[in-house]
Structure 1
Amino acid sequence: MATTVRSIKSLVPLLDRVLVQRVKAEAKTASGIFLPESSVKELNEAKVLAVGPGAMSKDGQRVPMSVTSGDRVLVPQFGGSPVKVGEEEYQLFRDSDILAKINE
C-alpha cells in the first residue's frame, strides 16, 4: 500500500534512503502508433529526486551515499517503498538496493 503525501518537497529521506521516480516508458512508437497501457512495461530506469545523509557505520562515521539528486539510476523491478503524491508515484530505496548509476 502506498503512503500518500501532500507535497513531494515535504518528503526528506533518512539515513541511506533514496527517493526516486521511475522513468515512464514511451506510449508511442517512433512511427507515431500509440500503444495500449497494458502493453507498456515499467522501466527499471529512475531519476533520483532526494538522498538521505547516509547510514552510520559501527564506529560512528557517516557512510557517504553513492548517488546524488539528479542522477539517473537502475533500480530493481520489484521492491522499494511506494509513495504517492496526487497522481504521481515515487519510491524509496536503500542506497545498497540501487543497481547502477547511468553516466552520460
Structure 2
Amino acid sequence: MTSTRQLALLGGFREVPSAATDTYVVGALIGGVNLDLGGAVLPAGGVTITKVSVVGGAHVRVPAGCRVEVQAFNLVGRKRILLSRGDEHGPLVRVRSWGLFGGVHVED
C-alpha cells in the first residue's frame, strides 16, 4: 500500500500522476486538492482521496469507466459529479472532503 500525504498552512496540493497511489491525504488551513487521475493507472483496490481544510475545495479528474463515491461536508460549497456511465467492475475512487468553505468537483 502506498500513500501521498501533504500538509500546509497556506496552499494546496496539485498532482498529475502517471500511476496513482492507494491513498492521498491533504490537510491545509487554506488550500485544496487538484488531482488529475485521468491518464493514471489506478491500483486494483482503488484510490481514496481525503481533503481536510478550512478554506479550499477538491477537484478530481478520474479515468472514464470509474466508479466514484463522494463523502463531503462543506458549510459553503457544492458537490458536482460529472461522469459518463461507469463500469460496475471499474476501479473505485473514493473522495472525502471536509471543510468550511469549498466544494467538490469530480469529472472524467
TM range, smaller chain: under 0.3
| Structure 2 length-normalised TM | 0.24
Question: Relative contact order (C-alpha < 8 Å, sep 6+): which is higher?
Answer: 1
| Structure 1 length-normalised TM | 0.25
Please tell me whether Structure 1 or Structure 2 has the larger radius of gyration of its CA atoms: 1
Structure with more of its chain in helix, by fraction: 1
Structure with more of its chain in strand, by fraction: 2
